[in-house]
Amino acid sequence: MTISPITTGHTLVVPIKEVDQWTDLTADLNSHLFGVAKIIGDATKRAFNCERIALVIAGYEIPHCHLHVIPSNSMADLEFANARTNVPREELEEAARRIIIELRSAGVAGAV
C-alpha cells in the first residue's frame, strides 16, 4: 500500500533492485513487474468493485522505479494532487486485507 493513496486501495509494485527509470529495467524485470501489477490489479478490482485499475509510472517522487496500481472509476481518480496524507494505519491495513483476501481466493501463492 502507498502511504499517500489517491484512492482507497492504491498500491505500489516496487522492484527490490533499485532502478531509476522504468525504461532502464531489463526485459525480464519489466515483464515480472507488470505481471505482479496485473495480479495485484485483478485482486484490487474485485476488492473495491471499481470500473478500472489504472497503472501509472510517474517516476518523479523518488529515483526508484515503481508502479502505481490505482482503483478508479474515472480519470478524476488519477490526480496525484489529490493524494491523501496522514492516512490512518488502520485504513491502509483494511485496504490491504481486502486485497489479500482476493489474492488468496484467486489462489495466488505467497499471498500474506
Domain map of the chain by residue range? 11-103
- The span from the CA of 13 to the CA of 2, in Å, is 10
The model's pLDDT over 45-101, given as tens digits with 9 standing for 90+, comes to 999 999 999 999 988 878 899 999 999 999 999 999 999 999 999 999 999 999 999
Give the pLDDT confidence score for residue 36 in this predicted structure.
96
The CATH code for residues 11-103 is 3.30.428.10
Give the pLDDT confidence score for residue 26 in this predicted structure.
96
Q: Which amino acid is at 45?
A: K
- The span from the CA of 38 to the CA of 3, in Å, is 21
Quick one: cell of 71?
A: 482503483
The model's pLDDT over 22-55, given as tens digits with 9 standing for 90+, comes to 999 999 999 999 999 999 999 999 999 999 999 9
| 97 in Cβ contact with 24 (< 8 Å) | no
